[in-house]
Amino acid sequence: MTRSDIQTQPKPSTTEVDIPIHGTDYVELYVGNAKQAMHYFCSGFGFKPVAFKGPETGSRDVASYVVQQDKIRIVLTSTVQPEGEIADHVFTHGDGVKDVAFWVDDAASAFEATVGRGARPIQEPTEEYGDGGRIIKASVGSYGETVHTFVQRNEYEGLFLPGYEPYNLEEWEINPPDLEYVDHIVGNVEDNKMNDWVEYYESCFGFHVMQTFEEDDVSTQYSSLRSKVMRNSNGRIKLPINEPAKGLKKSQIQEYIDYYKSPGVQHIALHTHDIITAVDRLRRNGIEFLEVPDSYYDKLLDRVGDIDEDLKILKQLHILVDRDENGYLLQLFTKPVEDRPTLFFEVIQRKGSESFGKGNFKALFEAIEYEQKKRGNL
């Protein structure tokens, strides 16, 4: 990865306490069957398989497939043995995000700084060597069993990480929806724990609160949540943190925690420059999205003003729209990508807007509650 790969985002000045992070290096999921998950992400989301490690490459206990689309790298990892950390994680949580890795210039310094401020150490700085040079990695903990790995690549020109070999299925016809980069990653934590994790990211990483949503902002007649969006100084890392709020029925956040059995990553938002094409291709690839009622579009333009897109097409594809003082955004959310109602994805296009679709929360919650009701969990 070169500097030309750095996501184009606003660059506020760096504070003294900020941990310099260039962007999201990769997101790793622990899954029950990495090969099958790789096929799902490639056939459904249009990722390309690029790297692999497993027993065939000398990795006796772990199999991992790396899939990529533009600047988005997802690592799908499973165990080939019936016991161990990965097996336990999948048994408890189902398929889910284990590692949200950050690309840094100095992994050891990032580790020492965050641990010195109170972060939970997971892996001391470790050097890995391969044909492409040297990688340095170090990891600290976050909510639940989620970790952040600092990845230093300035002395490495090889394929992903040492130990991986190329994996390319040349005859595989993939229909990519032109997803570009990770826009944000949302975590769900227990009731009354959100501010603890906000303080953790503020004190340990130097992040700041970009936006706050109270339960009155994100609610229906049945349920609600509270949320704060954490952001690093250059704006390339945005980590909203949700907690459930009391309502007449079970919040979607509490449903997630009940099924995941701990706090964890709720969804990953992937940015595209053309959401209409992206959502159309994803639907044709078999990806299922939440259903938005037609009534949502009756007064949409009265709420958001003029937009470039054809309202009829947005309605047909169920794409949501919201506006802030800087512009507007378009977004849509998949259904959970596994049988447990936990991890899902968001497709988002920003046309000036830097916010997170506050005006869409009611429609989103009602769509999620409709799915909860079908599962018997509302």
Lowest-confidence region among 137-141, 317-321, 347-351, 360-364: 360-364
Q: Do domains 6-166 and 179-375 have the same CATH topology?
A: yes
Q: pLDDT (tens digit, 9 = 90+) per residue, 195-233?
A: 999 999 999 999 999 999 887 665 565 567 889 999 999
> Does the domain made of 179-375 have the CATH classification 3.10.180.10?
yes
| Six token digits for residue 368 | 């999620």
Could you tell me the pTM of the whole model? 0.91
Across residues 264-291, what is the average pLDDT? 97
How far apart, in Å, are the Cα atoms of 335 and each of 317, 328, 341, 342, 372? 14, 24, 8, 9, 11
Phi-psi region of 206 (alpha: psi -120 to 50; beta: other; left: phi over 0): left
What's the pLDDT band for 366 if we cut at 50, 70, 90? Answer: low
User: Can you tell me the distance from the alpha carbon of 276 to that of 282, in angstroms, rounded to the nearest whole number?
Assistant: 10
Q: Please state, in angstroms and as integers, the Cα–Cα distance from residue 212 to each residue in 10, 182, 200, 333, following that order.
A: 20, 21, 16, 21
Q: What is the pLDDT of residue 4?
A: 35
Q: Which two tokens stand for residue 23?
A: 């962007």
CB within 8 Å of 33: residues ≥ 6 apart: 78
Asked if 226 and 186 count as a contact pair (C-beta separation under 8 A), the reply is no
Q: Name which CATH class applies to 6-166.
A: alpha beta
Residues listed for the chain: 378
Nearest partner of 128 among 164, 98, 101, judged by Cα: 164
Residue 348 near residue 312 (C-beta atoms within 8 A):
no
The residue extents of the domains of the chain are 6-166, 179-375
What does the pLDDT look like over 124-146, one tens digit per residue?
999 999 999 999 999 999 999 99
